[in-house]
Structure 1
Amino acid sequence: MRYLMLVLSTPDAPAEPVNVPEIEDWVRDTYGTGRAILGDRLRPPADAVGVQVRSGEVVVTDGPFSETKEVIAGFDILDAPDLDEAIRIAAAHPMAHTGAVELRPFWPLELDGDAAAAGSDAEAR
C-alpha cells in the first residue's frame, strides 16, 4: 500500500532534541530498500500560491492558503506492506523527532468502471 508521508515543521519542536537520526541515513535506509518512491522538500509557505475557481473565475492568492502553526516542509511517498511498516519508516525520519510526520494512505480512483475492483479496494481499507 502506498502512503503519503507529510513532513511537518511544528512550533512545539524540542529546543535541543536528542538522538535525532541523520536524514542521509533515513534516505539510504528507506529509498535504498524501495520503501520510498518519491520525495522532496517544499518551499516555505510564503512562496505558496492558492488556486480556486469561483463562479467560473480563477482566483489566485499569494502566500499560505490556510492559517496553521504547522508547516508542510516536505513529503515522501512510501510503499509499505501495511500501516505498521509505514509507521516504523515514519518514526525513523528525523522530523518525527524535531517536528511531526503525518501518514495518509492513498485512496486510488477507480476510473476504469470496474465496480468490483472498487468494492474490493474499499473493503481492504
Structure 2
Amino acid sequence: MRYLMLVLDTPDAPADPVGVPDIETWVRDTYDSGRAIIGDRLRPPADAVGVQVRTGEVVVTDGPFTETKEVIAGFDILEAPELDEAIRIAAAHPMAHTGAIELRPFWPLGLDGDTEA
C-alpha cells in the first residue's frame, strides 16, 4: 500500500524540542530500505498558486490561499504493507517531533486494471 506522507510545519511547534531525530538518517534509512519512493521539500505558501475553472475560464490566484495555520512543508511517498508500518516510519521523521505528519493512503483509480479501492 502506498501512503502520501504530508510533512506539516505547525505554529504550535515546541521551541526547544528534545530527542529530534536527524533528517539525513531518516532519509537514508527510509529510502535505502525501499519504504519511501520519492519526496521533497516544497516552496513556501507565498510561492503557491491556486487554479480553478469557473464558467469555462481558468482562474489563477496567488498563494497563500487557504485559511490554515499549518503549512505543507514537504512530502514523501511511502510504500508500507499496512498502516501501522507507515505510522512507524512517520513517527521517526523529525517533523513528527517539531511539526506534524499526515498520512493519506492512495486510492487507486482502477484505470490500469488495479482493482484495489
Give the TM-score taking structure 2 as reference length: 0.96
| Whole-Å separation in 2 of the counterparts to 1:17 and 1:25 | 18
CA RMSD of aligned residues (A): 1.0
| Whole-Å separation in 2 of the counterparts to 1:26 and 1:80 | 15
Tell me which amino acid in the other structure corresponds to 2:103.
L
Question: Is the helix fraction higher in 1 or 2?
Answer: 1
Question: What is the aligned partner in structure 1 of residue 104 from structure 2?
Answer: 104
Spell out, residue by residue over 1:93-125, the C-alpha distance to the aligned partner (whole angstroms, 9 max, x if none): 00000000000000000125x6xx63xx23xxx
* Displacement of 1:64: 1.4
- Give the paired residue count: 117
Question: What is the aligned partner in structure 2 of residue 70 from structure 1?
Answer: 70
| Whole-Å separation in 2 of the counterparts to 1:15 and 1:47 | 26
Question: What is the aligned partner in structure 1 of residue 21 from structure 2?
Answer: 21
| Whole-Å separation in 2 of the counterparts to 1:66 and 1:44 | 13
Q: Which runs of 5+ in 1 are unaligned?
A: none
Structure 1 stretches of 4+ moved >6 Å: none
| Whole-Å separation in 2 of the counterparts to 1:21 and 1:2 | 23
Q: Which runs of 5+ in 2 are unaligned?
A: none
Tell me which amino acid in the other structure corresponds to 1:45.
P
Question: What is the aligned partner in structure 1 of residue 42 from structure 2?
Answer: 42
Spell out, residue by residue over 1:42-78, the C-alpha distance to the aligned partner (whole angstroms, 9 max, x if none): 0000000000000000000011121100000000000
Larger Rg: 1
Give me the identity figure in percent. Answer: 85
| Whole-Å separation in 2 of the counterparts to 1:2 and 1:35 | 9
SS at match of 2:33: coil
SS at match of 2:34: coil
